[in-house]
Chains A and B, each alone.
Chain A
């Protein structure tokens, strides 16, 4: 069995576990209709739910039906507005993609740049400062950083808007906030993998052969250091989407995260289910792609 096929099978298994968890979260714990209706639903709500959900059937049958509908994008209807869940979720996807993508790009470019600089000039001021910033960045609660950025850039300096969505200016502060958690991870990892690779024999050989320092960095060192970086980015995407939940609610950014928090407080469970499954699935796909990408970058992995 090739690596790719193995990896695909595992992704399918993971998807199965994810769907089971999402389903089970709401059906497995207590009386499903009670939970679905939220802690404070009226008896009328619950009766309505029992009927619409077919809750008298055995659990595996219910799960099968739910999964069958979910694969066609049908997660049921919002308990509050009675709209199909996917119709509620769909317009929000773009915003969350925008935010996470721009945060990812910022964290990657700046993180790689600083990490490489720090590794090439180990012990220099840039190394020390980058490390300090990374240490601080990892300790800052990102929602708090968001609040402070609002006070500074939006209220005091008035350079950027406070909240909401509109032009790209609205994207700047949420992006900075969301990237603040990932950037230090990428920067430190780049630094350590680069240091790792730079001390390897083949890099030393290349240098001895008179290959230019720039070529050594880019062609040999960075290429080999990329492998763990891609893996970690893959692992961090879940955290990034989780961070988006908080960031979006700080900046009133109308993405999935804000919708999720709103739906959770309202007890609109089908919407929450839809969002959880959708985001988790996209993490699986992202991970799958990053693993396959590593396979391309570093053929040794296949035998790992």
Chain B
């Protein structure tokens, strides 16, 4: 037996080390934290397909990460014809990966597909201000909206990936889901099981982006964080995508000289939403005292500093203060005070607390901590845990079943308070559990007002009202952490769009 064992050991030694030389293959192996179901960025609100879409595709304009300004990309210039018409001149000589020309037909086909109400395209919701797209000539298009759309250009830069007209017609949404074709710096090659392969687009036009420096891009979907981190340690991965490394693992990676971590403040923010209308059938949170008690039960400082190791920033607003109009000074706050919280709960008629379901899908330790804080004031929160599956968890939210939602919101990478608050506080919308006319009116007006000062005032009033009523417990805005091999040059972006074409080897 001893012989057998030593034989086995020497055999495995003979297999030699498995540390793959990613630099030698010129391959960027990226680890993703969940399995994605489609590559069509319009078909889902999942961020990962959008991240990849920015790598295989292009938008009309691009938000320069450094200056924050919108710069020309597939569109070379644009102007407002009137309050509801935007005219864009398109770049000439750009070809899609399948050889089709990029022109006005591509733009019209893309928008007709994306915002057509017949297509269930939740990923295009943010583009629904577009009523129709019209071809003016081969390289000029007009986008026409029903109402003035203050954040129109912003959304074009984040979510409107241009698609080839002929391919879209032939392959349809199904083709797009499994075999996307764009104009981007990387060209889609294959999707086998949990691995997707892309190759550098050698004839990339550049524009506001650049030609990729690394010739192969391979995405590995590995839902287990420990497996991801281990694979990075052994060199099977060259990069774990921002968000794929938790704050608990960060110090571990930082200690390893072969690896490094980098983080970015992102627009995403985390919150605990209470069902203030009883939409889920749970009535407790209709009472403002209960909501206030929940707010005061949660030690947000401890979450930020201890649980998340400083990779977070406590916020008081129902939006990210980095967004336009998200004025932290407008927010009312309630201090952490479990004793007073318990008293409030008793005043509200629940001296012995109650039992309720808390839904969550990411940051498991924070979700557990929330149940722990609530337990201390007598609220037994059963955690319904969806382990990274936002697709599934958000279905429950949309179906109106969620009394307590430990959610996060990436605000579609748009630096405007409207994208933070609209999905949860505006009139209509699947995720709305709070129906406050004052908030709804303010947000509705902000959505059709062009003047910045007037919009800021409207957002301010909405924030004041939401926090005064304690509809939410704003928790923190996040930092995402990326882990990478020490020989890789790359940084995560604030808008959570990974720009793999900027990566290079040392």
Query: A residues within 8 Å of B by Cβ?
Result: 38-43, 80-83, 91-92, 95, 125-126, 129-130, 133, 147, 150, 153-155, 158-165, 169, 172, 250-252, 254, 262, 265-267
Contacts and interface: CB of A to CB of B under 8 A. Distances in A.
B396 A158 contact: no
Contact of B17 (A82, A129, A130, A158): A158
Contact of A42 (B18, B174, B386, B395): B395
A162 B227 contact: yes
A164 B234 contact: no
A38 B236 contact: no
B35 to A, nearest CB: 6
A294 B431 CA distance: 61
Nearest to A157: B12
B230 A172 contact: no
B392 A252 contact: no
A162 B236 contact: yes
Contacts of B399: 40-43
Nearest to B222: A252
Contacts of A38: 392, 395
B401 A40 contact: yes
A81 B38 contact: yes
Contacts of A125: 1
19 contacts: A40-B401, A126-B1, A153-B12, A154-B230, A154-B234, A158-B19, A159-B15, A160-B15, A161-B18, A162-B230, A162-B234, A164-B194, A165-B194, A169-B18, A172-B15, A250-B224, A252-B221, A262-B35, A266-B392
B26 to A, nearest CB: 18
- Lowest 9 CB-CB distances: which A-B pairs, in order? A254-B193, A40-B396, A163-B227, A162-B230, A162-B231, A129-B1, A42-B399, A40-B395, A155-B230
Interface string B16-43: 1111000000000000000101100000
A163 B37 contact: no
Nearest to B235: A158
A43 B430 CA distance: 12
A274 B37 CA distance: 18
Interface string B52-74: 00000000000000000000000
B447 interface: no
Nearest to A155: B230
Interface in B391-408: 391-392, 395-396, 398-399, 401
Given A153-B12, A158-B234, A162-B231, A82 B395 contact: no
Given A161-B18, A162-B236, A265 B227 contact: no
A86 to B, nearest CB: 15
A38 B386 CA distance: 13
Contacts of A43: 399
B392 A265 contact: yes
Contact of A164 (B231, B387, B398): B231
Contact of B193 (A159, A163, A165, A250): A165
B12 A159 contact: yes
Contacts of A153: 12
A41 B234 contact: no
A153 B230 CA distance: 11
A160 B12 contact: yes
Contacts of A262: 35
A91 B12 contact: no
A250 B224 CA distance: 8
B79 interface: no
B241 interface: no
A92 B193 contact: yes
Contacts of B223: 252
Given A252-B222, A265-B387, A163 B231 contact: yes
B453 interface: no
Given A40-B392, A160-B12, A265-B392, 9 more contacts: A92-B193, A155-B233, A159-B17, A161-B18, A161-B231, A162-B231, A164-B195, A164-B231, A252-B222
Given A161-B18, A164-B220, A252-B227, A80 B401 contact: no
Contacts of B457: none
A158 B18 CA distance: 6
Interface size class of B (residues with CB under 8 A): 35 or more
A251 B236 CA distance: 14
B101 interface: no
B324 to A, nearest CB: 32
Contacts of A130: 1
Contacts of B234: 154-155, 158, 161-162
Interface in B164-217: 174, 177, 192-195
Contacts of A266: 389, 391-392
B13 interface: yes
B266 to A, nearest CB: 26
Contact of B224 (A40, A155, A252, A265): A252
A98 B230 CA distance: 24
A26 B223 CA distance: 28
B12 A267 contact: no
Interface string B225-252: 0110011011010000000000000000
Contacts of A91: 192-193
Contact of B174 (A80, A82, A150, A165): A82
Contacts of A165: 193-195
Contacts of A147: 226
A42 B396 CA distance: 8
A154 B224 CA distance: 15
B395 A81 contact: no
A42 B398 contact: yes
Nearest to B396: A40
Contacts of A92: 193
B176 to A, nearest CB: 12
A81 B227 contact: no
A159 B14 CA distance: 9
Nearest to A87: B178
A39 B396 CA distance: 8
Contacts of B401: 40
Nearest to B397: A40
Highest count of chain A CB atoms <10 Å: which of B233, B389, B391, B392: B392
A167 to B, nearest CB: 9
A158 B283 CA distance: 55
Contacts of A150: 226-227, 230
B389 A265 contact: yes
B230 A163 contact: yes
A287 to B, nearest CB: 29
Contacts of A160: 12, 15, 18
Given A41-B399, A159-B13, A80 B391 contact: yes
Contacts of B192: 91
A78 B387 CA distance: 21
Contacts of B17: 158-159
Contacts of B233: 155
Contacts of A82: 174
A138 B134 CA distance: 69
A39 B221 CA distance: 26
B222 A267 contact: no
A40 B204 CA distance: 43
